[in-house]
């Protein structure tokens, strides 16, 4: 295939029609959630009581704030890193290098915010700006994805992603044509996946907590739990930053609208939904229930971290004492597949842990509304779809060895259920 020929990869997401629908549905869903969280009835499955006018959505100050935030995160990304990691081997046999300083960026952002708040930075005013901020971020995501699409037109064939080169412009714009678009050594996809949106999510949550304290005298127990759980999730992602280099997003998916919008807008504005809901709909939560929810979160985290670390350690060094004793299946590629330990329980144990944690994030919001459970529903759909995509890729990569693995480990995500 030359760089200008369309790839033969099967179309995903329902092809051009499916992605056309998603281009509208994803931003529409995000705005629906933002509006529903602050509305009295807070209904997930009802049309919004009103549609905001342009004057409510558009604010040059929100755009400026978003760019200042991006600028800060770029500056922190460019600071000297404790380590520079190598990614997996690319089509042209080269490996890209990535700075490992995400956790440092989180801590420095927290210190700067703390300093800002101590000199009067009104962080508690952020919840009132979520709508125009989400609008500015969505607009930027569309423009940025167009620029990435144009950049990919002059990229060499070896730089293109397997999936985003169908020849249909809209489909390729959505999926992303180039695998690892870079400006010099600055990697756009790696930066966006872990920095502005993920760290932004934590600070939106914190702003909601501060606003609740201002309104009601102190933050509620439910708000503390949601903030603590999600901070742990983001802190974990940045602490184990290197392991993102082996995720499907980095090694397989191009960088197009799906990930640009997902990373910059969807994550901070929809993943903070539970905290948004709690600000406008305070929920009573007793200590025994809170402890039970903490236990659920701990179980989820134990499975998620155990499974991800086991696979990462095995991929990096199969003779590491912590994984050397595990049973494996050899494959024609020379790599082996784990068939005992976490990866012998189900084929995607990390998804199971992630889903249990998702439930623990929503339970502090009580059972009176479906809205705070949006994340659990969306995430289940995302992981089931992602699991199918990954299985397809593994079948292509490993052929009979993968079939053997599926026979030995028949359940995908939930033991004896699915
Ligand atoms: N919060 C969120 O919104 C989201 C979170 N996530 C989380 O991100 C994490 C990464 O997910 P994702 O990238 O989808 O997938 P995984 O980290 O599960 O990686 C899948 C890859 O692991 C390798 N693998 C699969 N089975 C085995 C085995 N038995 N032994 C050894 N290697 C195996 C294969 O790659 P190879 O053999 O080439 O190494 C496969 O392609 C997960 O924890 C997921 O829950 C994901 C999406 C969204
Ligand atoms: C907008 C669409 C519905 C789809 C967008 C999907 C993206 C929001 C997610 C795709 C994979 C992700 C990952 C994480 C965040 C969400 C997105 C970008 C992740 C960074 C969350 C923290 C985890 O610890 C992780 C394993 C590092 C995750 C990697 C995948």
User: How much is the pLDDT for 7?
Assistant: 64
Instruction: Extract the tokens encoding 209.
Output: 């907590």
- Pocket of ligand 1 contains residue 390 by CB under 6 Å: yes
Angle, CA 259 vertex, CA 255 and CA 261 arms, to 5°: 120
At residue 186, φ and ψ (nearest 5 deg) are -80, 115
Q: Can you spell out the DSSP letters for 312-332?
A: HHHHH-TTSHHHHTS-EEE-T
Residue with tokens 């742990």: 232
| Non-local CB neighbours of 197 within 8 Å, separated by 6+ positions | 262, 263, 264, 265, 266, 267, 268
User: How much is the pLDDT for 1?
Assistant: 39
Alpha carbon distances (Å) from 182 to 163, 178, 192 = 19, 9, 12
Q: What is the pTM of this model?
A: 0.95
Instruction: Extract the tokens encoding 230.
Output: 């999600």
Instruction: Extract the tokens encoding 70.
Output: 């991006």
C-alpha closest to that of 275 among 218, 214, 224 = 224
Q: Which ligand is nearest to the CA of 401?
A: 1
d(CA 146, CA 176): 10
**Which residue minimizes the CA distance to atom 5 of ligand 2?**
262
- Pocket of ligand 2 contains residue 266 by CB under 6 Å: yes
Phi-psi sector, 329: left (phi>0), alpha (psi -120 to 50), beta:
beta
| Non-local CB neighbours of 332 within 8 Å, separated by 6+ positions | 398, 399, 400, 401
Q: Can you spell out the DSSP letters for 265-306?
A: IIHHHHTTHHHHHHHHS-----HHHHHHHHHHHHHHHHHHHH
pLDDT in single tens digits along all 418 residues of the chain: 344 455 667 888 999 999 999 999 999 999 999 999 999 999 999 988 888 999 999 999 999 999 999 999 999 999 998 899 998 888 888 899 999 999 999 999 999 999 999 999 989 899 999 999 999 999 999 999 999 999 999 999 889 998 888 889 999 999 999 999 999 999 999 999 999 999 999 999 999 999 999 999 999 999 999 999 999 999 999 999 999 998 889 988 999 999 999 999 999 999 999 999 999 999 999 999 999 999 999 999 999 999 999 999 998 889 999 999 999 999 999 999 999 999 999 999 999 999 999 999 999 999 999 999 999 999 999 999 999 999 998 999 999 999 999 999 999 999 999 9
Instruction: Extract the tokens encoding 245.
Output: 């280099």
- Pocket of ligand 2 contains residue 383 by CB under 6 Å: no
Phi-psi sector, 161: left (phi>0), alpha (psi -120 to 50), beta:
beta
Q: Name the strand (E) or helix (H) holding 336.
A: strand 336-338
Q: Can you spell out the DSSP letters for 117-154?
A: HHTT--GGGGGGGHHHHHHHHHHHHHHHHHHHHHHHHT
d(CA 16, CA 169): 9
Give the number of other Cβ atoms within 10 Å of residue 111's Cβ.
10
| Span from the CA of 189 to the centroid of ligand 2 (angstroms) | 12
User: How much is the pLDDT for 2?
Assistant: 42
Taking only Cα atoms into account, the Rg of the chain, rounded to an integer number of angstroms, comes to 22
Give the single-character DSSP code of 13.
T
Atom of ligand 2 nearest to the CA of 308: 26
| Span from the CA of 9 to the centroid of ligand 1 (angstroms) | 20
Domain ranges within the chain, ordered by starting residue = 14-44+57-86+96-282, 287-418
Alpha carbon distances (Å) from 286 to 102, 296, 361, 364 = 35, 16, 16, 10
**Residue of 193, 238, 354, 383 to mutate, ligand 2, most atoms within 8 A of C-beta:** 193
Q: Is 161 helix (H, G, I), strand (E, B) or coil?
A: coil
Give the number of other Cβ atoms within 10 Å of residue 35's Cβ.
17
| Span from the CA of 372 to the centroid of ligand 1 (angstroms) | 26
Q: Which ligand is nearest to the CA of 261?
A: 2
Interface predicted TM-score (ipTM): 0.97
With beta carbons less than 8 A apart as the criterion, state whether 98 and 180 touch. Answer: no
pLDDT in tens, 234-268: 999 999 999 999 888 998 899 999 999 999 999 99
């Amino acid at each position: 295939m030359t760089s200008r020929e369309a790839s033969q990869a099967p179309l995903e997401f329902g092809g051009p029609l499916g992605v056309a629908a998603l281009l509208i549905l994803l931003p529409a869903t995000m705005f629906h959630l933002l509006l529903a969280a602050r509305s009295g009835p807070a209904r997930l499955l009802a049309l919004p009581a009103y549609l905001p006018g342009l004057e409510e959505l558009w604010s040059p100050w929100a755009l400026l704030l978003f760019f200042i935030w991006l600028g800060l995160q770029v500056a922190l990304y460019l600071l000297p890193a404790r380590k520079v990691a190598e990614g997996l081997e690319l089509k042209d046999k080269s490996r890209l290098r990535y700075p490992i300083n995400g956790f440092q960026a989180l801590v420095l952002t927290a210190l700067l915010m703390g300093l800002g708040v101590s000199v009067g930075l009104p962080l508690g005013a952020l919840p009132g700006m979520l709508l125009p901020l989400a609008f500015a971020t969505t607009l930027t995501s569309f423009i940025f994805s167009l620029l990435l699409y144009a950049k990919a037109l002059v990229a060499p064939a070896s730089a293109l992603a397997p999936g985003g080169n169908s020849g249909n412009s809209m489909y390729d714009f959505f999926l992303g044509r180039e695998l690892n678009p870079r400006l010099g050594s600055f990697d756009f996809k790696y930066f966006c996946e872990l920095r502005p949106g993920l760290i932004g999510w934590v600070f939106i949550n914190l702003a909601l907590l501060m606003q609740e304290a201002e309104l009601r005298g102190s933050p509620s127990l439910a708000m503390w739990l949601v903030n603590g759980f999600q901070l742990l999730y983001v802190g974990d992602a940045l602490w184990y930053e290197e392991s993102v280099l082996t995720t499907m997003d980095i090694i397989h998916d191009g960088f197009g609208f799906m990930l640009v919008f997902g990373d910059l807008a969807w994550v901070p504005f929809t993943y903070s939904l539970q905290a948004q809901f709690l600000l406008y709909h305070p929920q009573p939560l007793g200590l025994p229930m809170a402890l039970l929810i903490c236990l659920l979160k701990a179980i989820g985290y134990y499975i998620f971290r155990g499974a991800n670390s086991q696979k990462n350690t095995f991929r990096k060094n199969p003779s590491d004492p912590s994984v050397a004793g595990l049973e494996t299946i050899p494959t024609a590629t020379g790599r082996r597949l784990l068939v005992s330990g976490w990866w012998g329980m189900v084929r995607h144990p990390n998804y199971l842990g992630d889903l249990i944690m998702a439930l623990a994030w929503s339970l502090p919001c009580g059972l009176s509304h479906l809205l705070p459970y949006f994340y659990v529903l969306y995430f289940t759909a995302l992981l089931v779809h992602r699991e199918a995509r990954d299985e397809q890729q593994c079948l292509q990569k490993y052929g009979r060895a993968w079939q053997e693995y599926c026979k030995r480990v028949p359940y995908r995500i939930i033991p004896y259920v699915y």
